[in-house]
Structure 1
Amino acid sequence: QWMSNLYNLIGTIYSELKFYDKSVDYYKKAIATAQEINDTEGVYAIKINTARGLYSRNKPAQALEILNSGTKYNPVNNCDVEYASIYILVYCQLKQYSKAKPYYDQLVRCGNSGKKDHIRQEKRYYAMVVYLLKTGQADKTYAYLAELRKLSAVHNDLLNLAQLEKVHFEADSATANYLGAISHLKSFKQLNDSLFNISSTKQFADLQLEYETEKKDKNIKLLKQHGQLQETRLNNEIIMRYVFIASLIVLFLILGLLYGRYCIKQKNNRILEAKQEEINRQNVVLRRLVDEKEWLLKEIHHRVKNNLQIVISLLNTQSAYLENEDALMAIQNSQHRMHAMSLIHQRLYQSDNLASIDMSWYIYELVNYLKESFDLDRKISYKLDTERVELDVAQAVPLGLILNEAISNAIKYAFNNRPKGQVTVSLKSTGGEGYQLTIADDGIGVPDGFEHQERESLGMNLMMGLTNQLDGTFTLQNNNGLAVAITFIRKQQLPGDAHNSEN
């Protein structure tokens, strides 16, 4: 509650000094504080002060909004001079005289029954005079003006006397008493000039006092600053002396640390140089070992390829002494399978990459070999649709053997009694590391139930077994020819395991 009273007091002081903007700001703070602590009486009192401040600033609408906020004042059941008088002034300033009339009637009914202090009486009479002047009843104002003059004479308040003379002037002017009006106007001017002179004299005295006080304060401040400056100079000299000594000590310490760091750095450099020489020596040895291993691996692939070629040649020689067609066909199939494997070893020893095979190159070479191996009068075309993919030996060999079986079967059986045909080989990615190898022809296809009848054949078992070795899936599709599809996942090989898979 003390905070609300403090804001109200500051607002009242600003109002008396005619700083109405600041007074209204503090009144509003006082209202908010009083409402927080449910101080109803305090809220009513502060609302009246706020409304008077806004009225003095010619802001009657805002003053009315303040008065009507919260619990509204009832002019019928109450006899509060403060509320009734401010409502009359605000409504008259808004020219809403009909709304001011109930409050005027209340002041007439209350008469002198309220509190007897002269401030409330002055407010009551002044509000009634304003209402009568505004509503064209100037002849009724003289009785109240007389009461106001008595109160002003007793308390000798120049401000109230000046205001009274001004109101009396307005009443005389309204009643055509021009001589009286001129007399009261002169009195108002004299009192107003006196108030102005008093205010000016007071302001001048205040300014002169403020100037003298400020001048003395500046002199005192200059003396203090001069003394502080002298003390600061002495302190600075002492500090500089200590700083110089400390700087010398720090400098010697830094020089010692730098020398120590230099000796440690030189020692570390010698150690690093020795380690670097050892690393370089070991790198040379390792490089030699790697080169030797790569040379050995290439030599192994070369010899494996040569050995396979020798076996193929031996089988070819053996076939010259055979007359049985089945035996000749078996030897020829074995030769094709060995050639499919020898192509992989040939590629490995001819390239720098000993870990994987480019399957697009391999499929092209294998198809050309098979096309040349089967000397047929039929015109069979080959369509290759392969993506560039690198596979390690563990997956390339099974895939090559499957290709050999599927293409050989298509050449031998798919185009019987047909002058021409087409074999399509595709290797495509299915997303991620998944791939699908498809060997399809547009030949006569296979009869129903073929897969179940031929599961015991060597070629079918070989393709299905190799598919399982790839951890893939094997499917046959008989639609306008036969299509063999193998779906598998490409295995990623660690660099250190590249050579192991080739053994």
Structure 2
Amino acid sequence: MRTGLFLFLLSLCISSRAQTLPLIDYDSLFQRRMAVLSPVQRLVWAEKYAVFLIEHSRFGEARTLLQASLKVAQQAHLTAWTARFYELSGSVEETNGNLVRSVDFFLQALAIYQATYAFEQQQKLCVHLISVFTSFQDLAKRQVYSRQAATLQREYRQLSILPFMYADKADDFVIAGKLDSALAYGRKAMTILWVTRKWQQFYGYLDGYGVLSTDGGMYREAEKTFRQCLTYSLQQGDQRRELYAYIHLPEPLLHLGQLGEAEHYAKLALSRIELDPERQDEHRTQVYESLTHIAEAGGQFKQALAYERLSNQYRNAVRSVEKNRQIAEVEARYQTAQKQTRINQLSIDNQRQLTQISWQAAGLIALIALLALALWQYRVIRQANARLRASSQLVSENNRQISQQSDRLGVLMQELHHRVKNNLAIVSSLMRMQSRRLDDPRAVQAVQDGQRRVEAISLIHQQFYQTENLADVPIKAYVTELTENLLLGYGFDPDTFDCQVEVADIHLDVDVAVPLGLVLNEVLTNAFKYAYTNVAKPKLNVRLQPVTDGPATGLLVEVQDNGPGLDGPGLDGTDARLERSADAGASPTVSWRKGSFGQRLIRELTGQLGGEMSLTTRNGTYFRLWIPTPAGTGAANPGRD
């Protein structure tokens, strides 16, 4: 495999060396062209110049140019150009880590492309959205756009989009830890880009290929790949790509024992950090980490300590930027809440107007009745009929306006739940990133457990904005998706795992659905973590049904696994401390004493629901939760079409 990889890279290097593009002075060329063209004609050159600015990390200039060009395109009603500038704006925000804003831009562009049947552009937007939702860890949304992109590729077979599809597959294999398969799909993507002579994208993918090779321990191949990227960037004057080559080269050189050369490239990277102004602190953190490892390998421990301090300094700066971004998002949520308050007030005013109109209509009807008694006054009757027609038109117009206000309110509520869900996804991503930086396994476990609880709450809001009913949660879809996500998240194969989910098609009020979802998250997480360690054929049954017959009515939740039962570890990895029922004839039940956070959380949530829980051994561990009707009065509603 290594021989084939070497031959592949060597052939690309030799073939592409003769294919370098001529240098173009875009700055002066753009100024000359823009001076003689009309505002609409300038859009072609604005697009080319914006792409140039993005490729050279001049993001501030790119934003200004794109905002002005977008305004011109919208005023001229040029939908294709409007979509293109939305797409480029999304690329700028995605590159700088502003993922929420990038999704807004990409979705606006995608809507226009779908309305104009621009299938190739739709595929590109789907690839962008797949990348963003991968960063959000939103697997459901990612699968939606993956299927959409795959369908478009099968139907229209656009060669230009195929490299992005291969790159998406490579990302899937990286997430799954299958590095060899990821490298294979990376080579496929680069082959197509080389054949179609898209050199900028080719060398961008080649740089990513080198990073994967470094992660896989193929340091000699990684070194050759980065040197090829460096040669191209120097020939083309691409200073940003040159900077990335300097940042990436020290790592493979360090493992190859070339400490002097590794240090040389790391210091070259430091001297050119300003070429990527919006990611300076992130790059400095990476370079100083490399210098720390180089100094340690060379026995210069004092210098290594100095580099380590600098690395921590810039890492803290990056965290500060993230914190400011979170504060901005909180402010956005506050403004959204204020808008919601104004919407509620508008709804009250509309209701008051509707009441007044009703009284006016009643008065008009009474007037018509009186006028009917005076048939001999023909002229008076004609005037009454004319007033009646005018009033009917007024009522119809007011009803239409009220209907429009109601529709807007529903859309805004869906948007509110959507943004809350996105914000929770960001919190989950931040917790995941934080867990990777922790060394204490217990701290890592605690952060990961918190992340899954946040994701369980996020799923509630996802169910809200995906349905027309904004008051209740469709519990069947929620429990099914929660179970499937946890099963996949803990690395189980759905084809070999016998997972039976029997949930009634009912809707629950959010006050019941949120604590119930957190309880299920804790119980299912415990089962997937500890129940199947030595089980050849894992099996899990999840059942949620309303009970309406008998003296007591309510909601029954049951979770049954086929693990070792109560002799195994308890929630959160602690020993289950049990209390047996005092009645000899009663079935053995178990209640948790004060222990881990997960146990306390389940007890608190059960008390919040006014329910009762029990735990027994029944061919494995059997969890039962009973929620009586008074705890969720009006919460359980039949499923809606």
TM (norm. structure 1) is: 0.44
Larger radius of gyration: 1
